[in-house]
Chain A
Amino acid sequence: MTEMITVKELNKSFGEVRAVRGISFSVAQGEIFGFLGPNGAGKTTTISMLSGLLRPDSGSITIDGMDMASRGRDIRRIMGVIPQEIALYDELSGRDNLLFWGGLYGLAGGDLRDQVDRALELVELTDRAKDAVRTYSGGMKRRINLCAGLVHSPKIILLDEPTLGIDPQARIRILEVVKGLASEGRTVIYTTHYLEEAEQLCDRIAIIDEGTVHASGTLAELVELVGGKVMVSVTGDFSADEAKQVLGEAEFDHISDGELRVKLLDRDQTGRLLGGLFSAGLHVDGVAIREPSLESVFLQVTGRELRD
């Protein structure tokens, strides 16, 4: 597949804060590439550099064979950016908004009107197109916000948490649209802090935290990183030494007084693990079993849960 986006050793600091630290990745045409990470992880800073809004301190960005540093304007012409916030004019209708944003990308006349109609159909807002955006529901605003980044039919689409704070129905619709865009051969970069979105949508995922990509690959590749094993977390009234003595050869992911995480080949082994603890007279308060998933991968590679 043709490589559409290549990013090498990207760095960006704001004063003393290093927002992005040496990020490198590449995205092929028609691929949905996800950035998964908590708030403040560096996702939006990365998107801003990819969309030409921020100049990196160092590193390079090549998009569709063009270097961002020298051909930023040409790159922006083939790129659609859907920002995290609802960046629309409230007092204008959905249609007028799209006409304005499409016009900025050089569309005009009948071509512009056709593209606007097509984009409105895509997000199922044709019947509300003439209403002022301020009268829309949260989900509708999100959809028209998405639309404004697609009206000029970009080859590359950058979506920065496009489903933030909306109802499940609207979220499903947006995810369907994004999948549809990729199936048309468009390249998508999608940032999110929702694990399930990344799992469902993305062909490949980069786990980002504190400005660094900790791991990247397909979901299967990432799960393989944790050995495809079940993670069992146990909390209770025991010391780390007592637990180690009882569980002996278990594969510990983490162990401390009152808390341990053990990797098991399958969840059926959980009973034997707990039996050992009980028979040693150790007090157990809680047990959590986590199947191999993006969540456990995140925990594994960043050392913390995404919701932290």
Chain B
Amino acid sequence: MANVSGSTYGLTTLSPIIEDNKLNLCHSMQIRWYLSQLPRDHRSPFAQLSSTYLARLVVMDDVVFVGHPACEEHLKSRYLLFETNFDGDLNTYLRRMATEAGEFVNAVWKHCVGFPGTDTVDAFITYMKTCQIETTFFFADVNDQTVESTLNALKTQAALAHFMEKHEGLPPADLQAAFGKFVERLHNAPPLPRGGDESRNIAQERRPHD
């Protein structure tokens, strides 16, 4: 199935945006405004949905005429394009969107035709699947690893580099003992902090990997 690459799922939806000429600020502009205010760090809704690799939202007004010999074409409506890729199956991800990022989802999709809200999760899932189009090609950088296992691997790599530098030149027996402790500490490490800038500011004592 084209929507899946390895263990990564690529979701693309196109949701028609409500047309209402009576509004001062049309729905598509309201979406743009809201999106422009969203935090881009660890407070981003997609940082909360921790299985997300990459996500983007685009407000599409119309097809841009690029000049002759292209012909002039138009969309039937304005659309909200949503693309995301993530670990696991679609139902689980959509359920998490509704339950863990409901405020964000409602604030964006309430401007779209037929959006049922997130109070009834099944209705939301059905709506998103109705808007879904097949994703034939998407970015799946590490498609046999989860976001969490990739982050863990990166942290482990950084921790190992730190360990190597700190213990350079130690006699073999001492090195082995220290390595044993290091591995044990890695095993017992608490879960990784969520992505985003906040992780840089976590106090040293909460960063056993370092």
Partners in one complex: no
Residues of A within 8 A of B (CB): none
